[in-house]
């Protein structure tokens, strides 16, 4: 594959450690999954996931700290608490689905009977893959690391050509 080493995009400036600090652990994504299915109460997470109380408490607090979930009084019963996805939390849906699709593709025994679909035509969503800015599908062999300055230069060149 052509992906050259991105030595200059070092770990200090890479988004992956940032993401893994919160999500790099078994339960975080499972809690997110439940939240995407409109689970929002402590006890519901508890019974659905089969997680220990203290761990759930800890993880919910961490997700709230990181701004992925919001902790608010319940709309109908103000004494109760509700955990809701924030915009930052919703933004993890592609990553969660990509993981899930991978698990379903390579986990031989699996046969999920519910599939995520486009409401408009009722058909399953596309596999989550890598695409160019114009939507073309890209394989690993089509990918290359470039610096911001290289990108700016070639964009400017393209614009000049058009003009």
Partner DNA sequence: CGGTATCCACATGGATACTG
Partner DNA sequence: CAGTATCCATGTGGATACCG
Residues between 50 and 69 that touch DNA (CB under 7 A) = 50-55, 57-61
Task: Please report whether residue 61 would count as binding its own copies according to CB under 8 A.
Answer: no
Cα Rg of the chain (Å, integer): 20
Footprint of its own copies on 35-54 (CB under 8 A): 36-39, 48-49
Q: What letter would DSSP give residue 126?
A: P
Q: What letter would DSSP give residue 11?
A: G
Q: Give which of DNA, its own copies, none residue 156 binds (C-beta under 5 to 8 Å, depending on kind).
A: none
Among 9, 19, 74, 137, binds DNA (CB under 7 A): 74
| Closest distance of CB 100 from its own copies, Å | 4
26-36 vs 53-65: helix crossing angle, rounded to 10: 80
Q: Give which of DNA, its own copies, none residue 57 binds (C-beta under 5 to 8 Å, depending on kind).
A: DNA
| Closest distance of CB 77 from its own copies, Å | 20
Footprint of its own copies on 68-127 (CB under 8 A): 88, 90-107, 110-126
Which one, 56 or 95, has the nearer CB to its own copies?
95
Q: Which two tokens stand for residue 48?
A: 């659905």
DSSP for 35-77?
HHTT--SHHHHHHHHT--HHHHHHHHHHHHHTTSEEEEE-SS-
Task: Please report whether residue 100 would count as binding DNA according to CB under 7 A.
Answer: no
- Cβ(83)–Cβ(60) under 8 Å? yes
The pattern of x and - marking residues 19 through 48 that bind DNA according to CB under 7 A reads: ------xxx-------------xxxx----
Rounded distance between C-alpha atoms, residue 62 and residue 68, angstroms: 9
42-49 vs 53-65: helix crossing angle, rounded to 10: 120
Which one, 25 or 142, has the nearer CB to DNA?
25
- Cβ(110)–Cβ(104) under 8 Å? yes
Q: Give which of its own copies, DNA, none residue 15 binds (C-beta under 5 to 8 Å, depending on kind).
A: its own copies
């Amino acid at each position: 594959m052509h992906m050259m080493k991105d030595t200059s995009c070092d770990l200090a400036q890479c988004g992956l450690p940032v993401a893994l600090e919160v999500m790099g652990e078994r339960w975080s994504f499972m809690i997110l999954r439940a939240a995407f299915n409109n689970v929002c109460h402590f006890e519901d997470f508890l019974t659905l996931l089969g997680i220990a109380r203290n761990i759930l408490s800890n993880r919910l607090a961490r997700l709230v700290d990181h701004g992925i979930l919001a902790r608010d009084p319940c709309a109908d019963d103000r004494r109760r608490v509700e955990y809701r996805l924030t915009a930052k939390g919703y933004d993890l849906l592609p990553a969660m689905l990509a993981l899930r699709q991978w698990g379903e593709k390579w986990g031989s025994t699996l046969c999920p009977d519910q599939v995520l679909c486009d409401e408009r035509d009722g058909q399953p969503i596309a596999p989550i893959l890598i695409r160019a800015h114009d939507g073309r599908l890209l394989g690993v062999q089509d990918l290359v690391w470039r610096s911001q300055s290289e990108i700016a230069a070639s964009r400017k060149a393209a614009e000049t050509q058009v003009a």
